[in-house]
Amino acid sequence: MFAYYLDLAMRSLRRHKILTGLMVLAIALGIGASMTTLTVMHVLSGDPLPGKSATLYYPQLDPRDSQDVRPGQEPPAQVSWMDGMNLLKAGRADRQALMTGGAVPIQPPDASIDPFFEDARFTTREFFAMFHVPFLYGHAWSREDDSNDARLVVLSRRINDKLFGGADSTGKMLRTGGKEFRIVGVIDDWRPTPHFYDLMTGGYADSEGVYLPLLTATDLKFPTNGSRDCWGNGANIDAKTALCTWLQFWVELDTPAKAAAYKQFLLNYSRHQKSLGVYQREPNVRLRNVMQWLDHNHVVPSDVHLQFWLAMGFLVVCLVNTVGLMLAKFLRRAGELGVRRALGASRRSLFAQLLVEAGAVGLVGGLGGLLLSLLGLWVVRMQPSDYAALAHLDLSMLLATFALAIGATMVAGLLPAWRACLVPPALQLKSQ
Amino acid sequence: MDIGPILSTLRRHKITAMLLIVEMALTCAIVCNAVFLISQRLERMHIPSGVAEHQLVMVQVANIGIQPDAKARTQADLDALRRIPGVKQATLASQVPFTNSSSNTSIRLTPTQKLATVNATQYMGEDLIDTLGAQLIAGRRFRADEYLDYDAVVHNLDLVRNHTPSVIITKALAERLWPGESGLGKQFYFAGVGVRVVGVVKALIRPSLSLGDAAAHWSMVFPMRMSSDNANRYLLRTDPKDRDRVMAAAGKVLRQLDPNRIVLAKKTLDQLRADFFRNDRAMTATLLGVIVALLTVTALGIIGLASFWVAQRRRTIGVRRALGATRAHILRYFQTENFLLASIGIALGMVLAWGINLFLMQHYELPHLPWTYLPIGALALWLIGQLAVLGPALRASRVPPVVATRSV
């Protein structure tokens, strides 16, 4: 029966080429626009580390002085050196890492390449294991190297390609920030999206090119990237004692029970600091996992949301348009439908036939929409924003395109099909 | 034209007519809001900076390693930059408009005030106000003996704690701190240090607008000399036509003085502004695209339905023609019909536009939609409707009266 309906649909669509064309065009435009923005939303609001992110938590403490206290205030978005080091050394989580963004000048061994600045991450060793960073060559530095000012560096694949032509560079020396560093590892392509572990350096920033031990970089006074929030007379020169928050601290807690215990530990830590007179405020802690942290920071740009709503509005207009055109088309065929009814076709089969026709329009419109959304995503990639390069259609969005196109046209076809089925056969036959 | 017959015809095509009305209402509502959003973006992109934008060039450098004689090197850099033909002024600035990189602090009106009054940005650099071309509207410039080395102050806060240093602020900040007063001679406090306002500039935009456009001009300028240890943006003032040449020369001069230095960016302030607002520009283009697409789809829908109606009413039209209606009558019939539908759609669309605006206000910090935007949507819809219906209506007017005499 379906094949017969499809055949009828094709005949009818071919008969009214302009009307069919208008319907397909409207669907294609609506689907194209909405799938473009939906894909961008999908990419930008995705899970940076699927399967892992639920066990990664971002502790926040409130070490600020008693000025500017407001009830229900959020603790600072980062931690101070002192708190970060205390939590790191306490080692209460399964894994933990303290880090900040930075920028270092690199003087390539090959003199034909000009010195350049590269975004760096100053971090402690468990960063790599905790965030599932894949190693191409070598490995992370050792636990001891975190605390002995070791001059070691891990390179990204991009930098290794640039400086060493992609060869295994572990063991070689690299002049970084005017000092010699030994390369211990090269990581493979790795770009978590969003750049969840440090939103201060850009929510969709590319991952860094070089990784240095945090203590080494801090002792060498390498410049940091990101934001630094100070209180009191905090803008002190020594980063280690400054009354400023400027580091990100991440912990891995494999079970919810451990997470609850860790939160309690943060509260106890805050109380202890207050009893020592270091903290002036009541304990004020947060412990969010990756997705909660991204959500809390509204990491998806509001322009992207706005574009999504615009596209949805546009899709609705396109669908209303299609309903109108389809209604016109179906009612125009009242005569033909009357004949089929008179020859014994039930309303139900007429209804099915018309819905198949609507679905066929949706399928063709969906194809057009797919092409348009590929074009739309290409336009998005031309945009200057740092997430632009990420806008690609994946398989799930491809399938969603067709599901949306066909589903939407079927819904749009319901009313016209129902109206057309109500045609009394006798009246139609008589007027012929 | 009598609209009675039109209404009674439309009553027999209720659903189709309603769909057309809904489509036009939605289009009208979205177009009104999109035009409003575009105007907001344009306003933001043209926010005044208060500086001589067309005359400024920024060169950002980075040194490798820490330099022991940063102060002397900075002086040598500035001397060399000032010797470039065409350079009127040159300084090393702590921060530059439209770069997104800024230092900000909370201001209190009394030293013991619990909650800070406002958060403002701090500009520093020798002769920064004149180099930027900010316009002093009250008070005086800094005296040469007021300048302190930034490094010395950070290492020893007593340098500023024991006497009240001068500050020059913007008119907007003065108005925010002391409404209705010039602010001249007043004191305020930050980080436990009191400062006194000696001058007021007309405007000076913050490097970052992340605190909202209302706070865009809350800026302060301090009499501090920067050095290559704590600042890396050289600002040069020159004639607009010399900018490119000066920019290239400045990059070369700075590299010559220290071959190990990396020039991170060389840009005119016009380029910095363009980069700063690139997302707004992209959004404006998107919104324009949406408006065009919406009007196109709606026009196509009107053409489709009108064509269908014309075909359906061929016989009626023939009868009317046979009974004496002229072609102009038929033409006007379809035009009036569309005008009526569009008018109902527009009326609904206005209400909907208001609703969408309320939704956007909740989520995107937008102001109320001024009523002046509503006629834009109305006009667009009437125009599109009339243009779209013209083709089918003309076809209708060409239906010969003889159709009436045919049975089918």
For B174-212, write each residue's pLDDT tens digit: 999 999 998 999 999 887 788 999 999 999 999 988 888
List the single best residue of B151, B300, B341, B358 to mutate versus A (max A Cβ within 10 A). B300
Block residue for tokens 């207009």: A317
- Suggest the residue from A116, A176, A317 to mutate for an interface test with chain B (most B CBs closer than 10 A): A317
Q: Does B112 touch chain A (CB under 8 A)?
A: no
**Nearest chain A alpha carbon to B352:** A313
Which one has a higher pLDDT value, B311 or B123? B123
pLDDT tens digits along A286-336? 999 999 999 999 888 888 888 888 889 999 999 888 888 888 888 777 778
DSSP run (H or E) holding B222: strand B219-222
Tell me the pLDDT band of A429, cut-offs 50, 70 and 90. low
pLDDT at A352 exceeding the cut of 70: yes
The predicted pLDDT at position A235 comes to 57
- A324: nearest CB among B16, B154, B192: B16
Closest Cα in chain B to A118: B264
Burial tier of A346 (Cβ tally within 10 Å: 0-12, 13-18, 19+)? exposed
Least CA distance to A27: which residue of chain B?
Answer: B297
User: In this predicted structure, what is the pLDDT of residue A230?
Assistant: 80
CB distance B298–A177 less than 8 Å?
Answer: no
Taking a C-beta distance cutoff of 8 angstroms, is the pair B209, B195 a contact? no
Chain B partners within 8 Å of A103 (Cβ): 62
A161: closest CA of chain B, how far (Å): 21
Tokens 């399967």 found at: A51
Record: contact A419-B297, CB cut-off 8 A: no
Q: What is the pLDDT of residue A324?
A: 86
Which of B16, B297, B356 comes nearest A317 by C-beta? B297
Token pair in block for residue A407: 């589903």
Which amino acid belongs to residue B367? P
Q: Determine the residue type at B230.
A: N
| For testing contact with chain B, the best of A318, A331, A385, A387 (most B CBs within 10 A) | A318
Which residue of chain B comes nearest to A302, CA vs CA? B364
Report chain B's mean pLDDT, rounded to a whole number.
89
Inter-chain CB pairs, A–B, below 8 Å:
140
pLDDT of residue A237: 65
- Of the pLDDT bands very low, low, confident and very high (cuts 50, 70, 90), residue A233 is low
Question: In which band, very low, low, confident or very high, does the pLDDT at A349 lie, cut at 50, 70 and 90?
Answer: confident
Q: Is B217 exposed, middle or buried (0-12, 13-18, 19+ CB in 10 A)?
A: buried
Cβ contact, residue pair A70, B305, below 8 Å: no
Lowest mean pLDDT among A28-42, A143-157, B101-115, B369-383: B101-115
Answer whether B123's CB lies under 8 Å from B220's CB.
yes
* pLDDT of the residue at A431: 55
- Note whether A317 contacts B286, CB cutoff 8 Å: no
Task: State whether residue B238 is helix, strand or coil.
Answer: strand
Quote the pLDDT of residue A153: 95
Give CA–CA dist B253/B247, Å, rounded. 10
* Contact by Cβ (8 Å): A261, A287: no
Residue of A325, A327, A333, A387 to mutate when probing chain B, most B C-beta within 10 A: A325
The 3-class SS string of chain A reads CHHHHHHHHHHHHHHCHHHHHHHHHHHHHHHHHHHHHHHHHHHHCCCCCCCCHHHEEEEECCCCCCCCCCCCCCCCCCECHHHHHHHHHHCCCCEEEEEEEEEEEEECCCCCCCCEEEEEEEECCHHHHHCCCCEEEECCCCCHHHCCCCCEEEEEHHHHHHHHCCCCCCCCEEEECCEEEEEEEEECCCCCCCCCCCHHHCCCCCCCCEEEEHHHHHHCCCCEECCCEECCCCCCCCCCCCCEECEEEEEECCCHHHHHHHHHHHHHHHHHHHHCCCCCCCCCCEEEEHHHHHHHCCCCCHHHHHHHHHHHHHHHHHHHHHHHHHHHHHHHCHHHHHHHHHCCCCHHHHHHHHHHHHHHHHHHHHHHHHHHHHHHHHHHHHCCCCCHHHCCCCHHHHHHHHHHHHHHHHHHHHHHHHHHHCCCHHHHHHHC
8 A C-beta contact, residue A135 and residue A188: yes
Cβ-based burial of B335 (10 A; exposed 0-12, middle 13-18, buried ≥19): middle
**Predicted local distance difference test score (pLDDT) of residue B237:** 96
pLDDT at A415: 83
| Chain B: closest CA distance from residue A344 (Å) | 25
Average pLDDT over residues B217-240: 93
pLDDT in tens, A107-156: 888 888 888 889 999 999 999 999 999 999 999 999 999 999 999 999 99
Of A321, A419, A432, nearest to B297 by CB-CB distance is: A321
Closest CB to B305 among A116, A232, A328: A328
Q: Please identify among residues 173-202 of chain B the ones whose CB lies closer than 8 Å to any CB of chain A.
A: 191-192
Mutate to test the interface with B, among A227, A314, A377 (most CBs of B within 10 A): A314
Searching chain B, which residue's CA lies closest to the CA of residue A28? B297
Residues in A closer than 8 angstroms to B23, CB to CB, are: 317, 320-321, 324
Q: Are B74 and B271 in contact (CB under 8 A)?
A: no
Beta-carbon separation of A310 and B287 below 8 A:
yes
Percent pLDDT > 70 in chain A is: 97
What pLDDT band is residue B274 in, cutting at 50, 70 and 90? Answer: very high
pTM attached to this predicted model: 0.84
For tokens 């697409």, name the residue.
B293
Contact A137, A168 (CB under 8 A): yes
Q: Which of residues 200-259 of B touch A (CB under 8 A)?
A: none
Is B297 within 8 Å of A29 when comparing Cβ atoms? yes
Instruction: List pLDDT tens digits, range B253-270.
Output: 998 888 878 888 999 999
Average pLDDT of every residue of chain A: 88
Contact of A289 with A54, CB cutoff 8 Å: yes
Q: Which of B16, B116, B293 sits opposite A68 (nearest CB)?
A: B116
Average pLDDT of the segment spanning B22-26: 93
Taking CB atoms and an 8 Å cutoff, what residues of chain B touch A376?
Answer: none
Q: Taking CB atoms and an 8 Å cutoff, what residues of chain A touch B297?
A: 25-26, 29-30, 314, 317-318, 321
How confident is the model at residue A303, as a pLDDT?
86
Q: How many CB atoms lie within 10 A of CB B7?
A: 12
pLDDT at A371: 92
CB contact under 8 A, B300 and A321: yes
Beta carbons of B32 and B291 less than 8 angstroms apart: no
β-pairing, B148-149 with B224-225? parallel
Partner-chain residue, chosen from A29, A177, A432, that has the shortest CB–CB distance to B293:
A29
Q: What would the pLDDT profile of A154-163 be if each residue is shown by its tens digit?
A: 999 999 999 9
Q: Does B370 touch chain A (CB under 8 A)?
A: no
Report the residue from B23, B286, B364 with minimal CB separation from A320: B23
Res A160: pLDDT: 95
Better-scored residue on pLDDT, A422 or B23: B23
